[in-house]
Amino acid sequence: MIKIYQRYIVLLYLKNFFIIFCSLEFFYAGVDFITNISKLPDSANLQFLYVLFNLMSAVNYTLPLSIIFAMIVSKFSMIRSNELLCMYAVGITKNALILPIFFTALILTFSYIALNFTSFSYAYEYKSNLLKYNQILSTSSDLFLKYEGKYVYFGELNPLKQEAVTVKIFDIKNNELQEVTNAQKGVFIDNAWVLENVTIIKKPEVDGNLSAKLQTIKLPYMTVLEKFRPKIIENAHLGQSSLSIPDAVDAIIFFGRQGINIDSIKTNLYLILFFPFFAPFIVVIFYYYLPLSGRFFNLALMNFIFVFIALAGWGALFVLGKFASNGVIMAEISTLLPIAALGLFTFVLYRKNR
């Protein structure tokens, strides 16, 4: 059963969180909109969508900072009003006071991670398409890739609609072309490509028969290239690393089999899955170093110090992630190791204050 003080702390924290989060979101989107307004399409609907996608892409930066800043504001508010000291005086422990905020921060963090299983991850891409092409969807042309020993050509690919025009598959064995599959159109359905109006040209087995001819087979439909997701194809073509969690996992498996460097994709996956836990851990760590009362401390100065440390720590991890994306350092060292260290330090502080 939720106790009265826990409900009060959670409501105070959430109130400050949403105020800070909305402020940062609209500040980010507002500055970006003013900066790029001359490049945006004249359509009010497309401008609205640009702002919406901008707000969604800003969550990557504003959410962890809002989680931390909300705790700082909430606890300093309780210190100034002596509420924190009174709660300690009636026997409420430090751990009991931080757990409601910690679990609330965890729920917010898991919600953000869950969003990255959806097309939310491509909000920045949608925004960029509106800025560059005045449309949400973009297409790639003349893509030529290798997949499981076959060479695949896409004349035109729309990864968001998961459609392709002019698909050619070259099957090569023992350095010899065995067959060519041509299709006017392909659609990615149920984790595989369904080709329409298919023509298959097979090389004949000569075996001394010089009169052997090419074999031509025509099919209305054909299912090929399982698990060859459109976003993986575009990623290979453009070298992008911004993917949703399912697409990132598939890309790591696919490129790993092909012997292609996956550092940038792996780093992106770690940043989505593990980097957000930076905020809940910092919330707990900061809490244990807060003063009990504002009588003997300059709260304004301490508030500034905590905010500065939060920004510096977040920025340092962000830069390490960029280094890992470029292959300068291992992704495990840049992301997993710092988050694991913060988690261990958080656990030590919690045990120490039992």
151 and 100 housed in the same domain: no
Which of the listed residues 228, 252, 286 is the one where a domain comes to its end? 228
Residue 183 is predicted with a pLDDT of: 83
Q: Phi/psi at 10 (nearest 5 deg)?
A: -65, -45
Question: Rounded to the nearest 10 degrees, what angle do helices 337-352 and 278-288 cross at?
Answer: 30
CA 309 to chain centre: 24
142 and 96 housed in the same domain: no
Residue 293 is predicted with a pLDDT of: 65
Tokens 């003063």 sit on residue: 291
Residue 260 is predicted with a pLDDT of: 67
H-run or E-run covering 192: strand 192-202
Domain interval for residue 108: 4-118+267-352
Ranges of beta strands (E only) in 103-175 are 140-147, 150-158, 163-173
Q: What total number of domains does the chain contain?
A: 2
Residue 319 lies in a domain: yes
For 144, counting Cβ atoms within 10 Å of its Cβ (0-12 exposed, 13-18 middle, 19+ buried), the class is exposed
170 and 110 housed in the same domain: no
Cβ contacts of residue 5 below 8 Å, gap of 6+? 87, 92, 97
74 and 154 housed in the same domain: no
Q: How far apart are CA 40 and CA 307, in angstroms?
A: 35
Which of the listed residues 202, 228, 254 is the one where a domain comes to its end? 228
213 and 301 housed in the same domain: no
Per-residue pLDDT of the chain in tens (354 residues, 90 and over written 9):
567 878 888 999 999 999 999 999 999 888 888 888 888 777 788 888 888 888 988 898 899 999 999 999 988 888 888 887 788 788 788 888 888 899 999 999 999 999 988 888 888 878 877 887 777 766 777 777 777 777 888 888 877 777 888 888 888 777 777 788 888 888 888 778 888 888 888 777 655 555 556 777 788 888 887 777 777 776 655 555 567 888 788 777 777 776 666 777 788 888 888 888 999 999 999 888 877 666 666 777 888 888 888 888 888 888 887 777 666 777 778 888 888 999 999 999 888 877
DSSP state of 290: S
35 and 94 housed in the same domain: yes
CB 229 within 8 A of CB 250: yes
221 and 281 housed in the same domain: no
Residue 132 lies in a domain: no
86 and 35 housed in the same domain: yes
Question: Rounded to the nearest 10 degrees, what angle do helices 263-273 and 245-258 cross at?
Answer: 150
Beta bridge partners of 165: 156, 185
Residue 238 lies in a domain: no
CB 105 within 8 A of CB 283: yes
> Is this prediction's pTM over 0.85?
no
212 and 272 housed in the same domain: no
